[in-house]
Amino acid sequence: MKVYKAKDYDAMSRKAANIIAAQVILKPNSVLGLATGSSPIGTYEYLAAKYQNGDVDFSGVTSVNLDEYKGLDASNDQSYRYFMNQNLFSKVNIPLENTYVPDGTEPDSDKACAAYNEILRKVGTVDLQLLGLGHNGHIGFNEPGDFFPDETHCVDLAEKTIQANKRFFASAEDVPRQAYTMGIGTIMRARTVLVVVSGADKAPILKQVLEGPITPQVPASILRLHPNAILVADEAALSETDI
């Protein structure tokens, strides 16, 4: 894994946006795998600025998001579709019809996952997959488990994830208990994987991801086997490693 150490969240965001911008400039019809959470917000801000000053054109881009809460629709301000519209899609010229997020409104999990797998097959190999890192090592909503799931599936969210994400909801009770997420296999088949990690609270898990065993108990650890994985992390997040 190639590691870029950034001074802070802003420098991390700027570096990650530069890498994504380079991808889109070199291949204007790129398929971008996108992520939500607080980690990529700054990256999206820099990308929006690059679009606004004419450096990057998103008109040929297709995007597929990692995950969505089961039960939330696009008008819910905690849904990941809403997040993407707010933080990126409304600020750049990506055609909205070429942006895909799992359908949280589909109550039948098998149906929702099969439909998203079909979309992923149609759009083809993801050129660059952006990822954040959960406090328990999850990527997308692939929680620690006994194996690495291949394709889109419905997950029961780990208690740690519910606690971490409750800050965005009125209370922990309001956090959905399930989500649809792209599988680890799909993530690993992306041509490039770009992980952004910031903050001292992520330092213990990042150390495990980089230096511990490669195990589904720490889902992000498998990224060390990816042929073209890039980590952009700030000093605080890397503070427990020798990097």
Q: Rule CB under 6 A: which residues touch ligand GLP?
A: 35-39, 66-67, 132-134, 140-141, 161, 165
Cα–Cα distance between 75 and 107 in angstroms, integer? 17
Given a contact cutoff of 8 angstroms between Cβ atoms, the answer to whether 142 and 155 are in contact is: yes
Query: What is the SS3 assignment for 69?
Result: strand
Q: Please, what is the minimum distance in Å from the beta carbon of residue 44 to ligand GLP? A: 12
Q: Please, what is the minimum distance in Å from the beta carbon of residue 71 to ligand GLP? A: 15
Between residues 67 and 106, which has the closer beta carbon with respect to ligand GLP?
67
Cα–Cα distance between 22 and 77 in angstroms, integer? 31
Angle, helix 41-52 to helix 9-26, in steps of 10 degrees: 50
Name the active-site residue from 65, 87, 117, 136: 136
Beta strand residue intervals within 134-204, DSSP E = 153-156, 178-181, 192-197
Between residues 26 and 170, which has the closer beta carbon with respect to ligand GLP?
170
C-beta atoms surrounding 76 within 10 Å:
15
Q: Please, what is the minimum distance in Å from the beta carbon of residue 37 to ligand GLP? A: 3
Question: For ligand GLP, which residue has the nearest CB?
Answer: 132
Residue 127: active-site member: no
Residue 67: active-site member: yes
Residue 77: active-site member: no
Q: Quick one: tokens of 105? A: 């409104």
Residue 173: active-site member: no
Q: Please, what is the minimum distance in Å from the beta carbon of residue 26 to ligand GLP? A: 25
Rg of the chain, C-alpha, whole Å: 17
Between residues 229 and 242, which has the closer beta carbon with respect to ligand GLP?
229
Residues known to be catalytic: 67, 136, 138, 143
